[in-house]
Amino acid sequence: MSVPDISPTSPDYLFDSVPAPAEIRSVCEGIQWIRLPLPFALDHVNCWLLGEPGEQVLVDTGVATSKSRALWQQHWGAKGADGLASVPEKLLVTHFHPDHAGLAGWFGEAGSQLYGSAVEIALSRSIWSRDDSEYAQEYARWYAENGIPEEAISQVLQKPNSYRLIVSEPPAAELWTCLEAGQVVELGGAQYRVLVGRGHAPDMLMLYRESDHVLIAADQILPRISPNVSVSTVLADQNPLQSFLDTLDELKVLPEDTLVLPSHGIPFRGLHARIGALQAHHEDRLAEVYQACRQPASAYDMFSVLFARKLDAQQMSFALGESLAHLHFLEHQGSLTRQSCDGVDQFVQVEQETKLDK
Query: Where along the sequence are the contacts to Zn ion (CB under 5 A)?
Result: 97, 219
Q: Of 93 and 136, which CB lies nearer to Zn ion in the complex structure?
A: 93
Give the DSSP H or E segment for 127.
Answer: helix 118-129
Residue type at 110? Answer: A
Q: Of 97 and 282, which CB lies nearer to Zn ion in the complex structure?
A: 97
Minimum Å gap between C-beta 52 and Zn ion is: 28
CA distance 117 to 207: 12
Minimum Å gap between C-beta 39 and Zn ion is: 15
Q: Of 114 and 205, which CB lies nearer to Zn ion in the complex structure?
A: 205
Q: Of 217 and 293, which CB lies nearer to Zn ion in the complex structure?
A: 217
Give the DSSP H or E segment for 262.
Answer: strand 259-262
Minimum Å gap between C-beta 100 and Zn ion is: 6
Task: Check residue 170 and report its DSSP letter.
Answer: P
Q: Of 43 and 186, which CB lies nearer to Zn ion in the complex structure?
A: 43
Measured at CB, which residue is nearest to Zn ion? Answer: 97
CA distance 115 to 175: 9
Minimum Å gap between C-beta 121 and Zn ion is: 15
CA distance 221 to 218: 7
Query: Are the CB atoms for 56 and 88 separated by under 8 Å?
Result: yes
Query: Are the CB atoms for 223 and 277 separated by under 8 Å?
Result: no
Query: Are the CB atoms for 332 and 338 separated by under 8 Å?
Result: no
Give Cα 182 to chain centroid, integer Å.
21
Minimum Å gap between C-beta 255 and Zn ion is: 25
Give the count of beta carbons closer than 10 Å to the beta carbon of residue 60: 27
Nearest to 128 by CA among 107, 153, 103: 103
CA distance 183 to 194: 5
Burial class (CB in 10 A: 0-12, 13-18, 19+), 182: exposed
Q: Of 262 and 296, which CB lies nearer to Zn ion in the complex structure?
A: 262
Minimum Å gap between C-beta 198 and Zn ion is: 12
Minimum Å gap between C-beta 38 and Zn ion is: 11
Minimum Å gap between C-beta 199 and Zn ion is: 11
Measured in degrees and rounded to the nearest 5, phi and psi for residue 272 equal: -70, -40
Minimum Å gap between C-beta 201 and Zn ion is: 6
Q: Of 97 and 209, which CB lies nearer to Zn ion in the complex structure?
A: 97
Q: Of 200 and 293, which CB lies nearer to Zn ion in the complex structure?
A: 200
CA distance 83 to 13: 36
Q: Of 148 and 201, which CB lies nearer to Zn ion in the complex structure?
A: 201
CA distance 97 to 188: 24
Query: Are the CB atoms for 152 and 143 separated by under 8 Å?
Result: yes
